[in-house]
Amino acid sequence: MSKLAVVDIGTNSIHMVLAEVEPDYSYKILDRLKDMTRLGDGTFNRGRLPNTAIVRGIEVLRGFTNLARNKGFERIVATATSAVREAKNGGEFLKKILKETGLRVRVVTGQEEARLIYLGVRHSMELSDYPSLIVDVGGGSVELIACNNEKMLFGKSLKLGAIRLADKFLRNDPPPKAMIKNMEDAISKDLHSSFKNSRVQSFHQIVATSGMAANLAEIIHLERNGRPLSQINLAKIDLKEIRAVEGQLKKRSLSSRLTIAGLDPKRVDTLLPASVVLRSLLEHTKLDEVTISDKAIREGVIYDFIARHKEGIRAEHEIPNVRRRHVILLGRRCGFPEGHSCHVAKLALSLFDQLQGLHGLGESERELLEYAALLHDVGYLINVRQHHKHSYYLITQGDLSAFSAEEIEIMANIARYHRRAMPRTSHLSFKTLSPRKRKTVEKLSAILRVADGLDRSHFSVVQGLRVQKGSPLNISLECVGDPEFEIWAAQNRADLFEKVFDRKIKFLVNTLNGNKP
């Protein structure tokens, strides 16, 4: 299974989802974690993330990433939204996160946030052919996404997040009517402006995501039925019920609001602006009901990751060995001739195994020979001419993170010398290796040159080989066709082999008629 941890650094909360991607590209959630760090508190008024929020955010992220890695989730995808996006010290915050946790965070634009939310919702509920409107009321922004079951029609990010509105308009407790009126006017103005020139003016339904919409549904359900909401996803609340909760919130102080059944104490100051946004949106679109979705940006990131990494996910199931998988994926990214490369690796390993007493190398060197053989022709991606040198470059720059830097250099050098010039200390890439590693490269390159020659036509004419040690070294070839071209190529590439192992090579051919020189 492919393991993926998704971290969402929001204005109100930091979330982490631990997911396992299945071979059919579906996924299942193994765990969810959340901490309401309130990064956005005061950020939009001052333009900076508070130091206390930064310290708390890094502490939470350190705990989340440690937990994920301890559970085997090495792949962690992290995004940050409006609070970090708009803060003057947002970049410094991200640098501290990287330094303290090793987590590289991608700051998404409002448009990208809308796209990811759409992906999360579209894959979790039925959307019709008619336009739907998804609204995500976050702490810093509100994302509006017009969509149908096939595509996103438009996505807009409005600076109407609940923390932003509370900081700007609701400074008194309880807020006077004038403050609330100013907030309502600002919300109505932005909503009107966002739809004014839109191609889509009417909607089949409104789908609300985010924790604030979910908490509003919990309060309404308790009031409606006298019992907790058993499932947030696809719960429905209507305009009349939203107005009723909004009315209670407007009249009460913060401490008094805590007595409202179902209200999350950590949303005591933000639920009022969130409910005003939802109510205003319903009135603007002339709809009476909202459907709640518990899927949003985090699930969108998972679907986006799956879409972008299908080859890698398939490879994880196809090739469980992580080192081999990294090699094969690099080869495929470079468009390597996979059949030829695998066949050359097979011949090279057969030579290596049968020459054990001659070269004196072990399993670790055998593995590096195999992987170098698999990658020896990746340089064709850059140019046919001098492709062996291009192979060296691509292997050293190919993000082979499952290998040490020294192992990568050895593999790259082996590939570098699979043709043309022999290893020389005048070549910087070879010179920087230790004397012992240079010897290893010479021996393994010598074997690879012969093996590559034996599949010069790329038709696997030479199916197998047997080595008879002696001087000269007899190599009997098991062939399925005329191997003259292969023998000519291998003989021309035997120079390094004959130098390193101090013996000539003689090729014999096994055919139905017996041996012939």
Contacts of 14 (CB under 8 A, 6+ apart): 7, 8, 34, 35, 37, 39, 57, 60, 61, 64
Question: Residue 93's closest CA among 123, 128, 53?
Answer: 53
Work out whether the CA dihedral 312, 317, 323, 324 comes out positive or negative. negative
Which range of residues forms the domain containing residue 52? 2-108
Average pLDDT, the chain: 94
Strand order in the sheet with 205-209: 152-158, 142-147, 132-137, 205-209, 289-292, 236-238
Dihedral angle of Cα 367, 369, 370, 372, to the nearest 10 degrees: 120
Contacts of 364 (CB under 8 A, 6+ apart): none
**Mean pLDDT for the stretch of residues 450-463:** 96
Rounded to 5°, the CA angle 434-403-304 comes to 150
Question: Which CATH number fits the domain that encloses residue 376?
Answer: 1.10.3210.10
The tens digit of pLDDT for each residue in 299-346 reads 999 999 999 888 888 888 888 888 999 999 999 999 999 999 999 999
Is residue 306 in some structural domain?
no
CB 301 within 8 A of CB 6: yes
pLDDT score of 486: 96
Regarding whether 327 and 287 lie in a shared domain, the answer is no
pLDDT score of 514: 44
What tokens appear for 448 in the block? Answer: 């690879």
Residues in the chain: 517
Is residue 308 in some structural domain?
no
The tens digit of pLDDT for each residue in 78-132 reads 999 999 999 999 999 999 999 999 999 999 999 999 999 999 999 888 898 899 9
Beta pairing partners, 2:
21
pLDDT score of 320: 85
Contacts of 304 (CB under 8 A, 6+ apart): 116, 119
Regarding whether 449 and 388 lie in a shared domain, the answer is yes
Q: How far apart are CA 267 and CA 191, in angstroms?
A: 23
Q: How far apart are CA 54 and CA 140, in angstroms?
A: 16
Regarding whether 260 and 134 lie in a shared domain, the answer is yes
pLDDT score of 309: 86
Is residue 505 in some structural domain?
yes
**pLDDT of 408 higher than 50:** yes
Last residue of a domain, one of 61, 77, 108: 108
Regarding whether 475 and 358 lie in a shared domain, the answer is yes
Question: Which CATH number fits the domain that encloses residue 183?
Answer: 3.30.420.150
pLDDT score of 367: 97
pLDDT score of 265: 96
CB 48 within 8 A of CB 88: yes
Regarding whether 464 and 364 lie in a shared domain, the answer is yes
> What number of other Cβ atoms are within 10 A of residue 498's Cβ?
15
pLDDT score of 517: 41
SS3 content of the chain, % helix, strand, coil (to 5): 50, 15, 30
- Under the banding of pLDDT at 50, 70 and 90, the label for residue 491 is very high
**Mean pLDDT for the stretch of residues 205-211:** 94
Regarding whether 133 and 101 lie in a shared domain, the answer is no
Is residue 307 in some structural domain?
no
Is residue 349 in some structural domain?
yes
pLDDT score of 1: 57
368 membership: H or E segment, kind and range? helix 363-375
User: What's CA 432's distance to the chain center, in Å?
Assistant: 34
Is residue 425 in some structural domain?
yes
Last residue of a domain, one of 42, 76, 108: 108
Rounded to 5°, the CA angle 164-169-172 comes to 120
Regarding whether 456 and 346 lie in a shared domain, the answer is yes
Regarding whether 238 and 339 lie in a shared domain, the answer is no
CB 294 within 8 A of CB 233: yes
> In the Cβ-directed half-sphere of 403, how many Cα atoms lie within 13 Å?
26
Question: Which CATH number fits the domain that encloses residue 60?
Answer: 3.30.420.40
Residue bearing tokens 């012939």? 516
pLDDT score of 210: 87
Regarding whether 464 and 423 lie in a shared domain, the answer is yes
pLDDT score of 22: 86
Regarding whether 378 and 466 lie in a shared domain, the answer is yes
Regarding whether 267 and 133 lie in a shared domain, the answer is yes
Regarding whether 356 and 498 lie in a shared domain, the answer is yes
Beta pairing partners, 99:
none
Name the 3-class secondary structure at 87: coil
Question: Residue 109's closest CA among 85, 133, 92, 91?
Answer: 85
CB 351 within 8 A of CB 450: yes
- Can you give the pTM of this predicted structure? 0.72
- Under the banding of pLDDT at 50, 70 and 90, the label for residue 501 is very high
pLDDT score of 151: 93
Q: What residue type is 502 in one-letter code?
A: D
How many domains in the chain? 3
The tens digit of pLDDT for each residue in 367-403 reads 999 999 999 999 999 999 999 999 999 999 998 988 9
**Mean pLDDT for the stretch of residues 258-266:** 96
Question: Residue 301's closest CA among 12, 13, 21?
Answer: 21
Rounded to 5°, the CA angle 313-318-320 comes to 90
Burial state string for 269-293 with b = 16 or more CB within 10 A and e = fewer than 16: bbbbbbbbbbbbbbeebebeebbbb
